[in-house]
C-alpha cells in the first residue's frame, strides 16, 4: 500500500502528539498565560493511538515521531513506545522532547525500543534559556541530553529555533557543541505558530545566514542522504567533526517534498502544520468504526493534503492553533 496525495507526494511519516500540555512556555510556541488545554477524556488513549498507527502503517506509513506539547508529560510514555515498536512494518520511531524529564526517562525509553531522539535547546546560556522558555530548566535539559548520550541514543538531534536578534550570537557556540558532542544541531526557522504576538517576518533568521556564519569559521560540506525526504538540509564539517542542519521552512519552503501528516492529541488528523482542516479520527475510533473505515478516512485526508503553507504568499493568514497544539 502507498499513501499518495494529488500532487504525487508519498506520505510515509506520521507525527503523533501525545499531549498538548507542556511544562514550558517557549515564546515561539505559546503565550505565557491563558493557554487552554484538552481535558483528559478528549485525549486519545494509548489503545486508540496504537490502533491509528497500525492502520496507518498498513496504508504505507513507515516513520512515527512522538511529540506534543511535551510528550514526556505522559508518565507512561515508554509504554506507547514499546507498543509501537512491536508494529510490523514500522521502520522508525522517534521522539521530540524539551528534555526536562529526559534524565529520568532516557533509560526506560531506550529499553522500550526508542533510538532516535530530538531535544530542543534554544540557548547555551541558562538565563537566556529561561527568557526563551519562561522556565528555569536549563540544567535539567543538559542532564537529559547527557543521559540520552549515556544510554546510547543515536542519532541525538538538538533543535534550535532560530530567532533574529537572539540566535545569531550563539550560532558559533552551537556549532562548537555539534563538533564536541555526538549531537546533530539543527536550526529551525521561526514559524508563525506562536499563538500570535511573537512572530513577524523580521523575526525569522534565515537558515542560509546561519550556515554562512558557521562556514566562515569551520567549512561545511553538504551531506546528501538517500531515502525519505527530510525537512533538514544537513552539512558536515569538512574536517569530519560532526554535523549541523537547517530547517528553512519560511525562506526556502520544502512543501513539494513534504511526506508527513499529523495526529493531534485529541485525535484530529491534519495534513499540514498550517492546515486548519482536520479529519476527526477520534469520532471514528469512539463511534465503532472498523479499521477499513479508519483507513478510508486517512487516505481521504491525504488526498486533500494542502499544496503548501503559503507563508510567503500575499493574503497569508496565520492559523489560530499554536505549534504545541498541532504537535510540532
- 98 binds ligand SF4 per the rule CB under 6 A: yes
- 326 binds ligand SF4 per the rule CB under 6 A: no
- 123 binds ligand SAM per the rule CB under 6 A: no
What are the C-alpha distances in Å from 328 to residues 118, 211, 236, 246? 12, 23, 25, 16
* Listed residue (105, 110, 112, 134) closest to 122, CA to CA: 134
Of ligand SF4, ligand SAM, none, which one sits near residue 188, judging by CB under 5 to 8 A according to partner kind? ligand SAM
What are the C-alpha distances in Å from 16 to residues 65, 170, 209, 298? 6, 31, 32, 14
User: Which of the residues 177 through 216 are near ligand SAM (CB under 6 A)?
Assistant: 188, 190-191, 193-194
CB-based contact 31:46 (threshold 8 Å): no
3-state DSSP assignment of residue 244: strand
CB-based contact 133:70 (threshold 8 Å): no
CB-based contact 298:5 (threshold 8 Å): no
CB closer to ligand SF4 out of 12 and 263: 263
Of ligand SAM, ligand SF4, none, which one sits near residue 19, judging by CB under 5 to 8 A according to partner kind? none
Q: Terminal CA-to-CA distance of the chain, rounded, Å?
A: 27
Of ligand SF4, ligand SAM, none, which one sits near residue 25, judging by CB under 5 to 8 A according to partner kind? ligand SF4
Binding mask 168-197 for ligand SF4 (x = CB under 6 A): ------------------------------
- For ligand SAM (CB under 6 A), the number of binding residues is 20
- 68 binds ligand SF4 per the rule CB under 6 A: yes
Residue 137 Cβ vs ligand SF4, minimum distance, rounded to whole Å: 9
Residue 93 Cβ vs ligand SAM, minimum distance, rounded to whole Å: 15
- 259 binds ligand SAM per the rule CB under 6 A: no
- 119 binds ligand SF4 per the rule CB under 6 A: no
- Report the C-alpha gap between 328 and 325 in whole angstroms: 8
Three cell numbers written together for 15 = 507525527
Residue 199 Cβ vs ligand SF4, minimum distance, rounded to whole Å: 13
> Which residues are CB-contacts of 132 (< 8 A; sequence separation ≥ 6)?
26, 27, 28, 122, 123, 166
- 319 binds ligand SAM per the rule CB under 6 A: no
Q: Which residues pair with 19 in a beta bridge?
A: 68
Of ligand SAM, ligand SF4, none, which one sits near residue 123, judging by CB under 5 to 8 A according to partner kind? none
User: Per CB under 6 A, which region of 20-28, 42-50, 208-216, 310-318 contacts ligand SF4?
Assistant: 20-28
Residue 293 Cβ vs ligand SF4, minimum distance, rounded to whole Å: 32
Residue 288 Cβ vs ligand SF4, minimum distance, rounded to whole Å: 33
- For ligand SF4 (CB under 6 A), the number of binding residues is 13
Transcribe 168-226 into DSSP letters: GGGHHHHHHHHHHSSEEEEEEEP-S-SSSSS--GGGB--HHHHHHHHHHHS-EEE----
- Report the C-alpha gap between 61 and 64 in whole angstroms: 8
CB-based contact 129:96 (threshold 8 Å): no
Among 16, 26, 247, 269, binds ligand SF4 (CB under 6 A): 26
3-state DSSP assignment of residue 73: helix
Binding site for ligand SAM (CB under 6 A): 22, 28-29, 67-68, 70, 96-98, 120, 159, 161, 188, 190-191, 193-194, 323-324, 328
Binding site for ligand SF4 (CB under 6 A): 22, 24-26, 29-30, 68-70, 98, 120, 323-324
Amino acid at each position: 500500500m502507498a499513501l499518495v496525495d494529488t500532487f504525487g507526494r508519498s506520505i510515509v511519516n506520521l507525527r503523533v502528539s501525545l499531549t498538548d500540555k507542556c511544562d514550558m512556555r517557549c515564546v515561539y510556541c505559546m503565550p505565557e498565560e491563558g493557554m487552554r488545554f484538552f481535558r483528559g477524556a478528549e485525549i486519545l488513549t494509548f489503545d486508540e493511538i496504537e490502533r491509528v498507527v497500525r492502520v496507518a502503517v498498513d496504508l504505507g506509513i513507515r516513520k512515527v515521531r512522538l511529540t506534543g506539547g511535551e510528550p514526556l508529560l505522559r508518565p507512561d510514555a515508554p509504554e506507547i513506545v514499546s507498543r509501537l515498536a512491536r508494529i510490523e512494518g514500522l521502520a522508525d520511531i522517534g521522539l521530540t522532547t524539551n528534555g526536562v524529564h529526559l534524565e529520568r526517562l532516557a533509560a526506560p525509553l531506550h529499553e522500550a525500543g526508542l533510538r532516535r531522539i530530538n531535544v530542543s535547546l534554544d540557548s547555551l546560556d541558562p538565563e537566556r534559556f529561561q527568557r526563551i522558555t519562561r522556565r528555569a530548566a536549563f540544567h535539567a535539559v543538559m542532564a537529559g541530553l547527557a543521559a540520552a548520550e549515556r544510554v546510547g541514543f543515536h542519532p541525538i538531534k538538538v533543535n534550535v529555533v532560530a530567532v533574529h536578534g537572539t540566535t545569531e550570537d550563539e550560532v558559533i557556540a552551537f556549532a562548537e557543541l555539534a563538533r564536541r558532542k555526538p549531537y546533530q544541531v539543527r536550526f529551525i526557522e521561526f514559524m508563525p505558530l506562536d499563538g500570535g504576538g511573537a512572530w513577524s517576518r523580521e523575526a525569522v533568521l534565515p537558515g542560509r545566514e546561519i550556515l554562512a556564519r558557521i562556514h566562515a569559521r569551520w567549512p561545511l560540506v553538504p551531506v546528501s542522504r538517500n531515502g525519505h525526504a527530510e525537512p533538514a538540509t544537513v552539512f558536515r564539517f569538512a574536517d569530519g567533526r560532526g554535523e549541523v542542519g537547517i530547517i528553512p521552512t519560511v525562506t526556502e519552503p520544502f512543501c513539494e517534498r513534504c511526506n508527513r501528516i499529523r495526529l493531534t492529541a485529541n485525535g484530529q488528523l491534519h495534513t499540514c502544520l498550517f492546515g486548519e482542516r482536520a479529519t476527526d479520527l477520534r469520532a471514528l475510533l469512539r463511534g465503532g468504526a472498523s479499521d477499513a473505515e479508519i483507513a478510508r478516512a486517512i487516505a481521504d485526508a491525504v488526498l486533500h493534503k494542502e499544496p503548501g503553507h503559503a507563508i510567503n504568499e500575499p493574503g497569508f493568514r496565520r492559523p489560530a492553533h499554536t505549534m504545541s497544539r498541532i504537535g510540532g
